[in-house]
C-alpha cells in the first residue's frame, strides 16, 4: 500500500499521508507552517460542534438534504467521541498560520468530509460545499473563539471560589491572632492575621465579580456573518439556530443577534475579559508574594507562617523547604501579563472587515485561563490548605515593634509618643521601658492602653 494518496485543490495536486483524514489544504498548511504549538483542541472541538449545529440548521432551513446533513452529523459525533490523543492525530496544524484561522477551519471541513466518506462512501460530502455550507472561516473561527473562552472561564471561576473558601477557613481560625502590620516595608500598627487574609479574600471576590460581570460580552457570536459580515450564502434563520444549538451543547446563553461586521473585525469582548484575567493575576501575584515573604526563614526571615513541605527544596542544601506553589503562581501571573499585551495588540488589528490575529489571540487567552486555573488550584490545595501560623514568632515581633506606640498618641500626644519610640530604638530597650522612663504615664496606664488585640478593632469590625 502506498504511503501517500493524491488529492487536488484549486492550486493543483497534493500528496497526503495515506492514513490521514485531512485533505490538500490541511497538508499545504502543515508543510508551510510547522511553527510553534498546536492549535488548542478546545478550538477543534468547538469547530466540530459548530459544523454539527450548522448541518442541523441547514437541514431545518432546507439548505441541505437530510441524507447529507445526517451523515455530516454522524461523522462529527464519531470525531467528538475520540479522546484528545486520538483527535489530535487528525488536526496537525499550528497556531501560527493564517490570521483568520482559515486553515484550521478547512482542516475541520476536510476531516469531517473524509470521515463521512468512511461511514458511507455512496454519499458524496464535500468540505466546502457541504460541511462548510452557509459558513466562512471568518465567522466560524471567531464563534469558536468566544465559545472556548467561555468554556475556559467556567473552569476558572470554581478554582477562584475554591481558593476564597480555603482562605476563609484560615481567616476565621486566625481572626484574633495579632501580628505586626507593615507599610512601605516598615513596621506599622498591629492587625490580626485574619484581618490581613480578609483583604486578600475581598480582592479575589472582586476579581470573580469582574469576570462574571464581563463574560456575557462573549455570548454574542459572529456566526452568520460569513465572509465580510453581510451574511452572504447563509440561509435565513441559520445563525439563530446555530446559536441555540450551541447553547444547548455548552450550557451557555449564546446569541447570534450581534452586529456581524463587529463580530468579524473586532474582538473587544475577549480583550476586556482578558483584562479581568490580568487583574486576577495581579492580585494573585501579590497574595503569593506576601505569603512567601511571611513564610521566609525558618531562622533568618519573617518566619510568621509555616508552609507545607511538598518536595525537597534544594539539590545541595538538605532540609530546605521552598514556597514552590507561590513561585508557580507568580510565574504564571507574569505570563498572563504578557498575554494581555498580546490580546490587546491582536484585538487592535481589525483591519477593515477582518481581524487577522485570531489564532494567537485565542491561544493567549486560553493559556492565561488555563495557567490561572491550574496555579490557583495548586496554591489553594498545596499551600493555603496546609498553611499554619507561627504564633510565637508573631507575638515576639509585635512585642518588639515600636509602632505600637501609636496607641499612646491619643493619651500623651503624637510628639511625646514619637520621643518614646525614638528613645526605645536608640537604647535598644522595649517600648514599655522607654515609656515608663519618660515619666509620661504609669505602668497601669501603659498596660491598659497597649492592648494589642483592642488596637486591631477586630471586635468592632464584627
Report residue 363 as a C-alpha cell.
491561544
404 assigned binding-site residue: no
58 assigned binding-site residue: no
100 assigned binding-site residue: yes
2 assigned binding-site residue: no
102 assigned binding-site residue: yes
Phi, psi values for residue 153, rounded to 5°: -65, -35
3-state helix vs strand vs coil in the chain, percent to 5: 65, 10, 30
176 assigned binding-site residue: no
Q: What is the secondary structure of 24-82 as a DSSP string?
A: HHHHHHHHH---SSBPPHHHHHHHHHHHHHHHHHHHHTTSS-HHHHHHHHHHHHHHHTS
Instruction: Output 178-181 pairs: Cβ under 8 A, ≥24 positions apart.
Output: 178/394, 178/395, 178/398, 178/452, 178/453, 178/456, 179/304, 179/394, 179/397, 179/398, 180/394, 180/397, 180/398, 180/401, 180/403, 181/403
275 assigned binding-site residue: no
390 assigned binding-site residue: no
**Catalytic site residues?**
184, 314
User: How many of the other CB atoms lie within 10 Å of CB of 3?
Assistant: 8
Chain mean position to CA 231 = 33
Using CA atoms, how far apart are residues 239 and 134, in angstroms rounded to an integer?
9
120 assigned binding-site residue: no
Strand positions, DSSP E, 193-333: 305-306
181 assigned binding-site residue: no
In contact, 365 and 339? CB cutoff 8 Å: yes
Residue 377 vs residues 109, 285, 330: alpha-carbon distances, Å: 37, 14, 14
Phi, psi values for residue 402, rounded to 5°: -90, -20
137 assigned binding-site residue: yes
Chain mean position to CA 155 = 9
Coil vs helix vs strand at 336: helix
Using CA atoms, how far apart are residues 16 and 281, in angstroms rounded to an integer?
44
Report residue 422 as a C-alpha cell.
525614638
Please name the residue ranges forming H helices in 120-192.
Answer: 137-173
As annotated, the binding site includes: 100-102, 136-138, 183, 315, 320-322
As annotated, the binding site for substrate includes: 100-102, 136-138, 183, 315, 320-322
Amino acid at each position: 500500500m502506498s504511503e501517500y494518496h493524491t488529492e487536488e485543490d484549486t492550486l493543483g495536486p497534493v500528496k497526503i499521508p495515506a492514513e490521514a483524514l485531512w485533505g490538500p489544504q490541511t497538508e499545504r498548511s502543515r508543510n508551510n507552517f510547522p511553527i510553534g504549538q498546536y492549535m488548542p483542541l478546545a478550538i477543534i472541538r468547538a469547530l466540530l460542534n459548530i459544523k454539527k449545529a450548522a448541518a442541523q440548521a441547514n437541514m431545518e432551513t432546507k439548505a441541505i438534504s437530510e441524507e447529507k446533513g445526517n451523515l455530516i452529523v454522524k461523522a462529527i459525533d464519531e470525531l467528538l467521541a475520540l479522546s484528545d490523543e486520538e483527535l489530535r492525530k487528525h488536526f496537525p496544524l499550528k497556531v501560527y498560520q493564517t490570521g483568520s484561522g482559515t486553515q484550521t477551519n478547512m482542516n475541520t471541513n476536510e476531516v469531517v468530509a473524509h470521515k463521512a466518506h468512511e461511514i458511507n462512501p455512496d454519499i458524496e460530502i464535500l468540505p466546502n460545499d457541504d460541511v462548510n455550507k452557509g459558513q466562512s472561516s471568518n465567522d466560524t473561527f471567531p464563534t469558536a473563539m468566544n465559545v472556548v473562552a467561555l468554556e475556559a472561564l467556567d473552569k476558572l471561576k470554581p478554582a477562584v471560589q475554591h481558593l476564597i473558601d480555603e482562605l476563609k477557613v484560615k481567616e476565621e481560625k486566625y481572626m484574633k491572632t495579632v501580628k505586626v502590620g507593615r507599610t512601605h516595608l516598615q513596621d506599622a500598627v498591629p492587625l490580626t492575621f485574619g484581618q490581613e487574609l480578609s483583604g486578600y479574600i475581598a480582592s479575589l471576590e472582586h476579581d470573580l465579580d469582574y469576570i462574571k460581570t464581563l463574560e456575557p460580552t462573549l455570548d454574542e457570536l459572529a456566526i452568520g456573518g460569513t465572509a465580510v459580515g453581510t451574511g452572504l450564502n447563509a440561509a435565513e434563520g441559520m445563525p439563530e439556530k446555530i446559536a441555540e444549538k450551541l447553547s444547548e451543547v455548552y450550557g451557555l446563553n449564546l446569541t447570534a443577534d450581534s452586529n456581524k461586521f463587529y463580530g468579524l473585525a473586532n474582538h473587544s469582548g475577549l480583550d476586556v475579559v482578558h483584562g479581568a484575567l490580568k487583574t486576577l493575576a495581579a492580585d494573585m501575584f501579590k497574595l503569593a508574594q506576601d505569603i512567601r515573604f511571611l513564610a521566609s526563614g525558618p531562622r533568618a526571615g519573617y518566619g510568621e507562617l509555616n508552609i507545607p513541605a511538598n518536595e525537597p527544596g534544594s539539590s545541595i542544601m538538605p532540609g530546605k523547604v521552598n514556597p514552590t506553589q507561590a513561585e508557580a503562581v507568580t510565574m504564571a501571573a507574569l505570563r498572563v501579563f504578557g498575554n494581555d499585551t498580546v490580546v490587546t495588540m491582536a484585538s487592535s488589528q481589525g483591519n477593515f472587515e477582518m481581524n487577522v490575529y485570531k489564532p494567537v489571540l485565542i491561544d493567549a487567552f486560553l493559556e492565561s485561563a488555563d495557567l490561572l486555573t491550574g496555579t490557583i488550584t495548586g496554591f489553594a490545595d498545596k499551600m493555603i490548605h496546609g498553611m499554619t501560623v507561627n504564633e510565637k514568632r508573631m507575638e515576639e515581633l509585635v512585642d518588639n515593634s515600636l509602632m505600637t506606640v501609636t496607641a499612646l498618641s491619643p493619651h500623651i500626644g503624637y510628639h511625646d509618643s514619637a520621643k518614646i519610640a525614638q528613645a526605645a530604638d536608640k537604647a535598644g530597650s522595649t517600648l514599655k521601658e522607654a515609656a515608663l522612663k519618660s515619666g509620661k504615664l504609669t505602668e497601669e496606664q501603659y498596660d491598659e492602653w497597649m492592648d494589642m488585640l483592642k488596637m486591631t478593632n477586630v471586635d468592632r469590625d464584627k
